A and B are shown apart, each in its own frame.
Chain A
C-alpha cells in the first residue's frame, strides 16, 4: 500500500538528529513495548509481514507523529483485536473482560534466550530456477496495491541491474494477508541515482533494493 511508511525520497522532515551516547530506551514504557511486541509475536498467530502491514495501516498523520515504539503498540493493538486475543473494550479498559483466542505459545522467561537466539528464518526452497541472472538488466513493475508490498514507490517502474540472486524467501505481499508463504527468488537490484531521481541526482549514487521475482520483468 502507498502508506505513510513508504518514506524513500519524501521531503520536509528536517535534518537527521543523531543523539550522542543514545540510550537504548528513552522511557520505561519503551522497554515494556519491546517486550510486549516480541511476546505477542511469539503467539504464532500472525506473521512479521502481517505485523508490518498493521503498522503501515496506521493513519498517516498518526504514523508520522508517533515514535517507533508507539507505532509498534498501535500495530499490536490492531493485531490483538483482529485475532481475537483482546476486544476493543479490553484494550481501552486495560483489564480482561472475557475469554479470547488461545495462542499456540506463551513466551515464558526461561525460553526467551533460546527464542531470541533462534530468530525466525524466512528462506524457503522453491522448485523453479531463478528467472533472472546476475548482470541482467531488469525493470521493476509499476503497481499500486492497496495491500502489503515491499517494493517502495521510488523504485517502481525503474530499470536496474541484478547484482545478486539472494536465495528464495517467503513472499511478504501474500504472507501479510494469510495467503501463504509462496516463496519466490529474491534479487538485489541496483539502480543509478539518476534512474530514480533524475538528472539532478548525486552522480556518485547508486541505490539497491532487494526485490522478489514477481516485482521484476525483463527490461
Chain B
C-alpha cells in the first residue's frame, strides 16, 4: 500500500478529517507537546536540541561561505581546487558536515549568472550558508526560479543585462551548490576578510551579486 493518504487512513476518532487543523493550529503547543513526549520516552535529549540550535545560530552560517568565496577570489590555486573538488577545498577551511557532504561550486562569469533552487524540497548547502531563509523554502521561489528567474531576481532588486545567460541549478540530488559570485571591481589589494564582507548569503544563492566596496559601509 502506498501511504499517500495514510494520515487519513487511520482509524481514529476525528470524524470530519479536521485532525490536522486541531493538531497543528498552535505550533508552539504542538511542538512543546512533541518534545515532552519524546523526552519522557527517552528518545531525545533537550540539551542536544539546545546544542543543535546554538550550532546553527552561532557557528554555521553564511560567513563560512563568504570565506570560501573570498579565498577563491584571492587564490587562483584554491579557486581551481574549488572547481575540481569543492567538497575537499571547502573542507580544507574547516567547513564540513550535514547538508554539505557533496559540494559543488558554480562560478559566475561575465557571460553567465548562476541561480540555485530546490524545487522539490529545501536542499541547501548548510555547511557553508547555514539554515536557509524562509523564502528559499517557500512555494513562490521554488515554483518560479526555474521558469521565470529574471522575474524572481527583480524581486530581489537584481536586474541582469538582457544578454546575460542564466543557469538555474535545481538541487534534485544530494549535491549542494554554492555560487561563487564575480569579484567586484575596485577590490584590488583588499584582504580576505574585507573581501568576505562583500559577499552576502544571497550572492551565494544567486539572488544577488557581490557588493561593490563603495556601497558597503
Contact indicator per residue, chain B 128-166, by CB within 8 Å of chain A (1) or not (0): 001101110111111111111110100110000011111
A206–B174 CB distance below 8 A: no
B44–A39 CB distance below 8 A: yes
Closest Cβ–Cβ distance, residue B94 to chain A (whole Å): 9
Instruction: Indicate whether B49 reaches chain A with its CB closer than 8 angstroms.
Output: yes
A70–B34 CB distance below 8 A: no
A117 to B97, CA, bound (A): 4
A88 to B6, CA, bound (A): 12
Stretch at the interface among B50-58, B72-80, B184-192: B50-58
Stretch at the interface among B63-71, B119-127, B209-217: B119-127
Which chain B residues lie closer than 8 Å to A64 at the CB level? 139
Which chain A residues lie closer than 8 Å to B48 at the CB level? 35, 39, 107-109, 112
- Option from A24, A78, A86 in Cβ contact (under 8 Å) with B131: A24
A75 to B156, CA, bound (A): 31
Nearest B residue (CB) for A66: B24
Which chain B residues lie closer than 8 Å to A152 at the CB level? 119-120, 170, 172
Instruction: Indicate whether B93 reaches chain A with its CB closer than 8 angstroms.
Output: no
Which chain B residues lie closer than 8 Å to A162 at the CB level? none
Instruction: Indicate whether B27 reaches chain A with its CB closer than 8 angstroms.
Output: yes
Nearest B residue (CB) for A23: B57
**Chain B contact residue count (CB 8 A cutoff):** 93
A90 to B40, CA, bound (A): 11
A91–B120 CB distance below 8 A: no
Instruction: Indicate whether B23 reaches chain A with its CB closer than 8 angstroms.
Output: yes
Interface centre among B4, B139, B143, B173 (most CB of A within 10 A): B173
Given known A-B contacts A16-B141, A27-B27, A94 and B34 have beta carbons under 8 A apart: yes
Which chain B residues lie closer than 8 Å to A188 at the CB level? 175
Nearest B residue (CB) for A55: B121
A206–B96 CB distance below 8 A: no
A84 to B139, CA, bound (A): 32
A107 to B41, CA, bound (A): 13
A62 to B99, CA, bound (A): 26
Closest Cβ–Cβ distance, residue B163 to chain A (whole Å): 7
- Option from A67, A166, A170 in Cβ contact (under 8 Å) with B175: A166
B41–A67 CB distance below 8 A: no
B4–A146 CB distance below 8 A: yes
Closest Cβ–Cβ distance, residue A94 to chain B (whole Å): 3
Instruction: Indicate whether A40 reaches chain B with its CB closer than 8 angstroms.
Output: yes
Instruction: Indicate whether A73 reaches chain B with its CB closer than 8 angstroms.
Output: yes
Which chain B residues lie closer than 8 Å to A88 at the CB level? 10, 12
A28–B28 CB distance below 8 A: yes
A40–B171 CB distance below 8 A: no
Instruction: Indicate whether A6 reaches chain B with its CB closer than 8 angstroms.
Output: yes
A40–B168 CB distance below 8 A: no
Instruction: Indicate whether A182 reaches chain B with its CB closer than 8 angstroms.
Output: no
A29–B207 CB distance below 8 A: no
Given known A-B contacts A86-B37, A152-B120, A10 and B168 have beta carbons under 8 A apart: no
Which chain A residues lie closer than 8 Å to B171 at the CB level? 210
A40–B55 CB distance below 8 A: no
Instruction: Indicate whether A137 reaches chain B with its CB closer than 8 angstroms.
Output: no
Which chain A residues lie closer than 8 Å to B168 at the CB level? 205-208
Given known A-B contacts A7-B142, A109-B48, A210-B175, A22 and B7 have beta carbons under 8 A apart: no
Nearest A residue (CB) for B52: A35
B33–A94 CB distance below 8 A: yes
Which chain A residues lie closer than 8 Å to B139 at the CB level? 7, 10, 13, 64
**Cβ < 8 Å to A, chain B residues 1-53:** 2-8, 10, 12, 20, 23-24, 27-28, 30-38, 40-45, 47-53
Enumerate 9 A-B pairs (CB-CB under 8 Å) in ascending A order: A17-B140, A26-B134, A76-B34, A80-B38, A122-B101, A123-B101, A146-B4, A150-B172, A169-B174
